[in-house]
Amino acid sequence: MYFDHLLDAVFGIRKIFHVIECEVCGFDEVYYEDVETKKLVGRACSHCNFVQKFDF
């Protein structure tokens, strides 16, 4: 699926940190953490096609 490929490209290997309700569409907005560092890497909503990478 296209969106998963997009997430692979942006976030790499990741784990779901938590899921909240997307404030735009009401679908699942997923927060991801890096598998190794356990740091939050970004969030995404597959319904909105929204992807944001967190840069610290």
Q: Is 24 a residue that touches Zn ion (CB under 5 A)?
A: yes
Give the total of residues touching Zn ion (CB under 5 A): 7
Q: Is 3 a residue that touches Zn ion (CB under 5 A)?
A: no
CA distance 5 to 3: 5
Q: Are 40 and 33 in contact (CB under 8 A)?
A: yes
Question: What is the closest distance, in whole angstroms, from the C-beta atom of residue 48 to Zn ion in the complex?
Answer: 3
Q: Is 19 a residue that touches Zn ion (CB under 5 A)?
A: no
Largest CA distance in the chain: 31
Q: Is 48 a residue that touches Zn ion (CB under 5 A)?
A: yes
